[in-house]
Structure 1
């Protein structure tokens, strides 16, 4: 009798897995960095920074015909942060990165509920920020429609960060974390052209119950035909930023061209103009790219819009680059970017400098290695902008890093 029960149980499990798909995979990603001017100019008297941080993730997914469930747990490990004997998560970096369920509603409709990444187009306004070891996520409800080359996403979020404030609807205090969010993204494909429209409102808590509402809207166009590619961004912001600062006339415009010269060489060039603050007290004309993958833009050294450069002179970024396929398993990316202010600094200076970014990647059997080096050639305006005198700054401003990426698939 026990054998019969056991056989029935095994058959039941087999039937369940035949009707569904379970996946279990992970990621082990240590990155070592040498910082001698990353993010800002380093003074000569300061010592360069050097550290290694590992991202460890375990991802589990389960899918049936009617729903999907996905969970991703991660820990961000700074080498040496724990004592040798007494171990603890001293920086509270062990967390649930994603936890969502997606329900199929039929006729192209579905809904996705829970902690998830919101990543659209080139990730300028909304992106997963995968470069950061912690990544970026949102706690949101997403209504989705996709059919015949057309896709529509509508997201809603209402955030709290303090359970102790029961009965208080206004308990979101983290810097620039939104209190509310309403977002609509539409995408339509027309042959070689992909066109998107984004409309988003973010409400930021100023007090109890004060909320400032900031609206961001615009379009992303991506055209590809044969070896030629063109991408355009055009975004505007209005409303009020955190702190009840009125936003008027803020914009972000960009144009990028690409050309695949051969099977081994691709080249590109582009320009991005981001408005700065030309308004009076209590107002601003400065655009801020919000929740995008900002590390991807305006140079890998993160001098602009990565926890800095908000509400200031804006930016004009003119860049050229090339990607070289060195072999079937290795690539080299070279990018040169020239920066200047969209407006003048107090001194009347606009020029900020030039950055060189080099990234080499090599795929091995089951893992990959990525190496990077960046050099900032600062102009007089950069010293003024960052508040470091040229005489006191280090002679060389650079950044180097090495990253190992392993993504094991335990069950697929």
Structure 2
């Protein structure tokens, strides 16, 4: 209640100031989503029962602009329907700050933004908003940005601590990365755009019970896009070096997508992605498995989240071959994406015998309907046809015959008001 009073007072104050040119707008997003999970993110075993629930994001966005100053405050509540009693005095998750930043424009080319903010680039494979997750993803950081004509350079810096300590802590800061620095450059050349990323992330770990160390891992690479009236293609190549928990890191990934507009309404595409890993017959020290770090990983390697969504890290790697079929007409859009997954390196069974690298096939179907300007209806159905190798990796000895997932979501996003 106190927070709402503060927000209301701030709005009244801003609307009462007219001496300086100002802009203010407020928007709301309400996004309930029903999900039926029967083998989502991991094969379900015989005897285990599927589950269903409704989660909801409620987000209030406020933007303010005055001369060279811009600010944004985004508040949200994420809940599962029924996680608190109908007569509760307090919400389980409360109200959280998703974004809270201020930006100052030094001149038309340079600006700086500091505070809680979304950091998202290119196809969001390495740095993304993770908008599918109801809570999303944002960082406490300072970002300097240069943009002129078809060129943009961003320099970002973050330093994290668990609390306002008076002395150095004796336990690792495991909630997040300890430090991050990055440089992202983007340029547009006619039908071709190119981006280059260098990202340095430091994670804290206990080298000994009393000695905390920060190991830094570097992720760097390029993302290229070609677009014309018919073709939409992209290529991404990234490598990782440095150290993690005292061991050397040597990993890489490459992905290519080709999309062709066969007609005004119908598009067909093909893609392949390789993420390096470490074979289970490789006893040498070091990490060879590529980690997408802060990417919107739900958008890659199948919507059922079997790979790289809080799982499959430091594993045998992945090869993903997929087909994309897209049809749109008026307010409707339909997508069908079948994936064929293979391990990128050797998988051994319990007797140390090599297993087939084929992991399984997943089929994803989604549909979207724009009910009106501020209301979008979305839904989808996915099914995983897992192999015995995937069963072994998932640690499920007796999986059910059917592993599927279905969802239905309503996104209501009205602009509440704005003034200049």
Query: Superposed, which structure 2 residues align to 1:279-358 within 5 Å?
Result: 280-325=283-328, 327-346=329-348, 347-358=354-365
Query: Superposed, which structure 2 residues align to 1:144-155 within 5 Å?
Result: 144-155=145-156
CA-CA distance at 1:380 after TM superposition: 2.0
2:221 alignment counterpart? 218
Counterpart CA distance in 2 for 1:132 and 1:93 is: 17
- CA deviation map 1:209-254 (0-9, x unaligned): 310110000000011122112100000001112x223212x00101
Query: Superposed, which structure 2 residues align to 1:230-249 within 5 Å?
Result: 230-241=233-244, 243-248=245-250
CA contact (8 A) 1:162 1:171 kept: no
**Tell me, what secondary structure is at the counterpart of 1:209?**
strand
- CA deviation map 1:313-371 (0-9, x unaligned): 1000000011111x311111100100000012103320001000000111112311101
Query: Superposed, which structure 2 residues align to 1:147-296 within 5 Å?
Result: 147-163=148-164, 165-168=165-168, 173-175=173-175, 177-207=176-206, 208-241=211-244, 243-248=245-250, 250-278=251-279, 280-296=283-299
Counterpart CA distance in 1 for 2:256 and 2:367 is: 25
TM-aligned CA distance change 1:299 to 1:86, over 3 Å = same
Query: Superposed, which structure 2 residues align to 1:14-29 within 5 Å?
Result: 14-16=18-20, 19-29=21-31
- CA deviation map 1:90-121 (0-9, x unaligned): 3x353100000010011400000000010000
1:370 alignment counterpart? 378
CA contact (8 A) 1:172 1:179 kept: no
Counterpart CA distance in 2 for 1:277 and 1:361 is: 39
Unaligned runs of 5+ in 1: 1-8
Counterpart CA distance in 2 for 1:224 and 1:81 is: 46
1:69 alignment counterpart? 71
- How many pairs are equivalent? 394
TM-aligned CA distance change 1:350 to 1:75, over 3 Å = same
Counterpart CA distance in 1 for 2:55 and 2:325 is: 29
1:393 alignment counterpart? 399
Counterpart CA distance in 1 for 2:15 and 2:115 is: 33
Unaligned runs of 5+ in 2: 1-12, 349-353
Counterpart CA distance in 2 for 1:172 and 1:409 is: 43
2:410 alignment counterpart? 404
CA contact (8 A) 1:27 1:56 kept: yes
1:5 alignment counterpart? none
Counterpart CA distance in 2 for 1:322 and 1:78 is: 33
CA contact (8 A) 1:170 1:205 kept: no
2:106 alignment counterpart? 105
1:379 alignment counterpart? 387
Counterpart CA distance in 2 for 1:74 and 1:10 is: 22
TM-aligned CA distance change 1:10 to 1:406, over 3 Å = closer
CA contact (8 A) 2:172 2:212 kept: no
Query: Superposed, which structure 2 residues align to 1:34-53 within 5 Å?
Result: 34-53=36-55
Counterpart CA distance in 2 for 1:398 and 1:322 is: 20
1:3 alignment counterpart? none
- CA deviation map 1:154-200 (0-9, x unaligned): 0000001123x23327876235x210000000001111011000001
| Segment drifting more, 138-147 vs 362-371 | 362-371
